Homo-oligomer: A and B are copies of this chain.
Amino acid sequence: MSGDAAKTDALARLNVLRRSIDNIDAALVHLLAERFRVTSEVGFLKAAHDLPSGDPTREAQVVGRVRDMATNAGLDPDVAQKISEMLIAEAIANHDRIKARRDADA
């Protein structure tokens, strides 16, 4: 194969891989939307029962479990932890917003 043909071939293969990345991203977005739906339910429950927004014991369990699953799945556990901690921080910030709205309505 000439250099040009090899490059054309590589770019075609790159497009195939990018289609897979796009499909995975679509699945990720919808799972993330669902995760935030569930954590919003948690937020309403916590606000209604005056439970604290954060729960360090539970958060450590979530992150530990995510690291273990990542290792088993061949994903860098540090990358998985970074994403997990970001999701937890966003969920807690959302809990605080739900509680603040509830307190303002009370």
Residues of chain A at the chain B interface (Cβ within 8 Å): 6-7, 10, 13-14, 17-18, 20-22, 24-39, 41-42, 45-46, 48-49, 51, 58, 62, 65-66, 69-70, 73-76, 79-80, 82-84, 86, 90
Contacts and interface: CB of A to CB of B under 8 A. Distances in A.
Given A22-B65, A69-B29, A10 B75 contact: no
Nearest to A14: B45
Contact of A14 (B22, B42, B69, B76): B42
A16 B66 CA distance: 19
Copy count, this protein chain: 2
Given A25-B62, A42-B17, A79 B70 contact: no
A62 B30 CA distance: 15
Contacts of A76: 36, 90
